[in-house]
Amino acid sequence: MKIRHKVLLTTLITLAIGGIYLFSVWEHRRNPGVIANRSLDQDLTPDDVAIVRKMFMTSFSDTLVLQGKSVWMKDGYTMPYFPFSGGRIAFTKRAGLVPAAQRLDVNKIVKASPPASADDGIDHGSRQVFAVFALPGDAQLYATAIGVIDGAQEQYYCDLLFYYDDPHTIYDNWPKDVWAAIDAHQVKPGMSELETRMSIGQKIQTEGGSEGNRTVTYDQNGKHWTIAYTDNHATSIKTE
């Protein structure tokens, strides 16, 4: 093939590619498509974009990073905790359920084998892993389960159980009166489902509908709340 023919062929290919690209750009601008339209329809709230850190722990050594740190209970009123003294967990003297948004000052991470009769919310496996912690203003140490070891298999629930940053700073857009209700583990009209869970916990039953437009029953360590939501605001609050 002569040189001028090669040059001509190369030029034609370049023009063809350029034409296809220009057509695709024109078509996209004329009809942006589903993805662009979807982004316009999204109505993200400050709660949706709040940064809730995760650590994706997969081994016992990963959990040791919590020693000397504070965490806040995310899965409120679901996890039992027990006195810890002399290097042992007193499984027969359950102290209660860790309240929602409660700060835990982690002292150490330990392994232990609970008795078969002990129900601490996590499968026993061959051993469990516990966070040993102090509550603010309380010198007593306690322990709550954060993971399970079964032979060579390990599973940890820290990201489900804990906030690694103070939720008061994560959700600093919430009004002061809402935070006052949360700190007192109460619910007031107008609170969202997330704000309510932060106050009285995650142990819930729902009666159909979608989040923000349904009736939810909460078990707050034996106290039951039935709350109806409309447009993600509590409109009816009943306790028993």
What pLDDT digit, counting tens, does each position of 143-199 carry? 999 999 999 999 999 999 999 999 999 999 999 999 999 999 999 999 999 999 999
Structural domains of the chain, count = 3
Residue 15 is predicted with a pLDDT of 45
Note whether 108 and 198 are same-domain residues: no
Domain boundary among 163, 183, 205: 163
d(CA 215, CA 204): 10
pTM > 0.85: no
Residue 207 is predicted with a pLDDT of 86
Note whether 153 and 107 are same-domain residues: yes
Answer yes or no: is 155 within a domain. yes
- Whether 227 shows a pLDDT value over 80: the answer reads yes
Answer yes or no: is 218 within a domain. yes
- Whether 35 shows a pLDDT value over 80: the answer reads no
Using a pLDDT cut of 70, give the percent of the chain over it. Answer: 82
- Whether 17 shows a pLDDT value over 70: the answer reads no
- Whether 116 shows a pLDDT value over 60: the answer reads yes
At 42, the pLDDT band (50, 70, 90 cuts) reads: low
At 104, the pLDDT band (50, 70, 90 cuts) reads: very high
Residue 43 is predicted with a pLDDT of 81
Residue 234 domain boundaries:
174-239
Answer yes or no: is 79 within a domain. yes
Note whether 80 and 125 are same-domain residues: yes
Tell me what the pLDDT averaged over the chain comes to. Answer: 88
Note whether 91 and 138 are same-domain residues: yes
Residue range 33-46: mean pLDDT, rounded: 59
At 7, the pLDDT band (50, 70, 90 cuts) reads: very low
